[in-house]
Structure 1
Amino acid sequence: MREADVSITRWNGRFVNYYSPDGAVFVDTENENIRTAFRKEEFDERVKKMREMLEKK
């Protein structure tokens, strides 16, 4: 989360997804816990495209 260069807030703020070049963390803000985490090798095609766009800027 500290190294994230983009975050996406969902469900009226209940969930926040943090993305960095090295991975992602999905946080449940209501229960104050990490729902899941991914290494960059586990990114799906949508996240890979988002990362490519961010790196071009």
Structure 2
Amino acid sequence: MPTERRVAELAADGLSDQDIAEATHICVRTVEANLCRVCRKVGARSGVEHGRRMDQRPPSDAAP
């Protein structure tokens, strides 16, 4: 989902849930729900682990 990806990218950049909510015009609870789903999908047990995995991701604008 595009929203999940955007929220995950902002979280990996170190933004707080509140900052992400303001940047994406969604509520904090929606940010938390999106991060929960993303962590479950990538098998991360915590936000820190998710951030490490996002740091290892290829740039989103890279050609496959």
- TM-score, normalisation: structure 1: 0.28
Kindly indicate whether structure 1 or structure 2 has the higher relative contact order, using CA contacts under 8 Å at least 6 residues apart.
2
Q: Return the structure number with greater strand share.
A: 1
Q: Return the structure number with greater helix share.
A: 2
- TM-score, normalisation: structure 2: 0.26
